[in-house]
Chain A
Amino acid sequence: MSTKQKTLLVQGYEVVIGFETHAQLSTQSKIFSRAPIAFGAEPNTQACAVDLALPGTLPVMNKGAVARAIEFGLAVGSHIAEESIFARKNYFYPDLPKGYQISQFEIPVVQGGEVSFFVGDEKKTVRLVRAHLEEDAGKSLHEDFIGQSGIDLNRAGTPLLEIVTEPDIRSSEEAVAYAKELHKIVTWIGICDGNMQEGSFRCDANVSVRKPGAPLGTRREIKNLNSFKFMQQAIDFEVRWQIEQIEDGFEIQQATVLFDPDTGETRAMRTKEDAADYRYFPDPDLPPLVIGRDWVARVQAEMTELPRVMAARFVADYGLPEYDATTLTQSKAMAAYFEAAAKACGQAKLVSNWVMGEVSRRLNASEVGIEQAPVSAAQLAAMIGRIADSTISNSAAKQVFDALWTEGGDVDAIIEAKGLKQMNDTGALEAIIDEVLAANPKNVEEFRAGNGKALNGLVGPIMKASKGKANPAQVNELLLKKLQA
């Protein structure tokens, strides 16, 4: 539970949210067959006999899917079950070829665990109930067919990790923050490509409301939230809708709802009677999944440093504020970029400012990831080095950076070419200051009379006379000295 419990009530009601996330695992082949899982292939060209449930076919388990489940479990501090069972979830749907989904029911592979994140500056922890392995279903296509649907089973059998939380989330903002953190974890450790448009990371939110202290309300499940933006909108609408229903005297009926981004509303799906009776039983085609502690230890040893751990290390080793550390560890690539630059020039805080500022701004504007940044970590480090050693001023650096980003090149060469070297020669500077002081007696008088702002009227002309190359800190220092002399 959160360390600083803030009550976030909506119209006097407490919002209670639990999440179920289906992450498609980044394996080469499907969970129970050897068909490939690349996105966007021609219909049914990646659906082999096993995926189509042809008579006589049987499932064989993909080691890569299990390895990724173990990695996830370790990343969230959960227990990896020594023995877990695959069960059949029986229901009829055209995109479910066997008429049952192979999933895990009573005994999942990952048990417990937690995910921590920041909402604003408040730290929040959401507990996980479990994560289990299961197979994805195919797709139904409705356009192009009148009165009919076309079934593509390419996706059927893609490995999924279903991640279930306790109902610990208390607002739509927290929900989005949780989802983003979970997204970061699964992409960071490399078990999922996180591509939400392609359906690699699908969230369902179970939402209910209650008066504080009252028992849990009936929940409705918002399915297939595939963007963070819509996630918040959908939950907000659902919460307001439920509160309105209750205030109007109606009871909330358990239902599955879909969010319509065009209308901004959630609406209940056609109810499937007996939908809840899945007749789960252990799959007789699959013996128990046994995971030895030595395998878990091997995975643990090879695991990449997790974002929270890395952030803590940035705070400890580089003296960065927690906010900076958290922001820089939003992706492995960004953290690596930061660290490479910081190590190269030894100016961690400056690097952090530039990465979180100028670099991020430009990346967002051109919608590319830091892997595609035209300015390398080495180049940034070199430029920051020149700021630190007073070769250039901060404002000059902006010009250098712009040149690097748009044209590329060498830092020193650009400084040279654009004549951006800061004037560090105090003699020449003093001469300029004397000239400006002489030319602006009124400002001098006003400053000496106690008007501090009169300084600006002198700094401007000094900088202009120095063609912007004066070191602002030096200007201030010398100017004050002369004025106070």
Chain B
Amino acid sequence: MSLTAQDIDRIANLARLELPPEEGQRMLDQINGFFTIVEAMRAVDTAGVQPLPHPIATIQEVALRLRDDLASEPNQREANQQSAPAVERGLFLVPKVIE
């Protein structure tokens, strides 16, 4: 499976990454290089095999833990916003969002 320059453009857009043309080309070559090793993986017969998203599921049941419904987080706005690029009156500022 070979990626094209259009694929790179589409994915860069999905991932919100600006890639200048030479970088896009380099990325295309490198990712295609990587996908040559991926092809072997695609050919493996995995019929009837369940995916393993949580490693411990190999040996035991994994279930989501549920916490009690209690609001215990205090207001720490100042500390939480100390590394914010742009804040005004407690709001994070961004270029205008157009709907």
Show the binding face of A for B, using Cβ within 8 Å: 27-29, 33-37, 42-49, 52, 54, 60-66, 86, 92-95, 140-142, 145, 147-153, 258, 269-270, 273-274, 277, 279, 282, 284, 286-290
Contact = CB atoms under 8 A, between A and B. Distances in A.
Nearest to B76: A48
B75 interface: yes
A63 B95 CA distance: 37
B73 A33 contact: yes
Nearest to B81: A44
Contacts of B69: 27-29, 62-65
Nearest to A36: B71
Contact of B64 (A61, A92, A95, A269): A61
Nearest to B57: A287
A288 B64 contact: yes
Q: Which of B64, B65, B89 has the most CB of A within 10 A?
A: B64
B92 A153 contact: yes
A63 B90 contact: no
Contacts of A37: 71
B99 to A, nearest CB: 6
Contacts of A277: 14
A290 B81 contact: no
10 contacts: A28-B71, A34-B73, A43-B91, A60-B67, A145-B88, A150-B88, A150-B91, A153-B92, A274-B10, A279-B14
A82 to B, nearest CB: 11
Contacts of A95: 97
Contact of A284 (B14, B53, B64, B95): B53
Contacts of B10: 274
A150 B89 contact: yes
Nearest to A54: B80
A94 B67 contact: no
Contact of A29 (B70, B77, B81): B70
Interface residues of B, number: 36
Interface string B13-24: 110100000000
B47 interface: no
B67 A63 contact: yes
Contacts of A54: 80
A255 B83 CA distance: 38
Nearest to B51: A282
Nearest to B80: A52
Nearest to B68: A63
A287 B63 contact: yes
B1 interface: no
A54 B84 CA distance: 11
Contacts of B65: 60-61, 287
A66 B73 CA distance: 20
B66 interface: yes
B67 A61 contact: yes
Nearest to B69: A64
A373 to B, nearest CB: 32
Interface in B11-67: 13-14, 16, 53-54, 61-67
A149 B93 CA distance: 6
Contacts of B61: 290
Contacts of B99: 258, 269-270
B71 A149 contact: no
A92 B73 CA distance: 26
Contacts of B93: 145, 148-151
A29 B77 CA distance: 17
Given A45-B75, A269-B99, A279-B14, A287 B90 contact: no
Given A61-B65, A287-B63, 6 more contacts: A34-B67, A46-B75, A47-B77, A62-B66, A148-B93, A269-B99
A90 B81 CA distance: 24
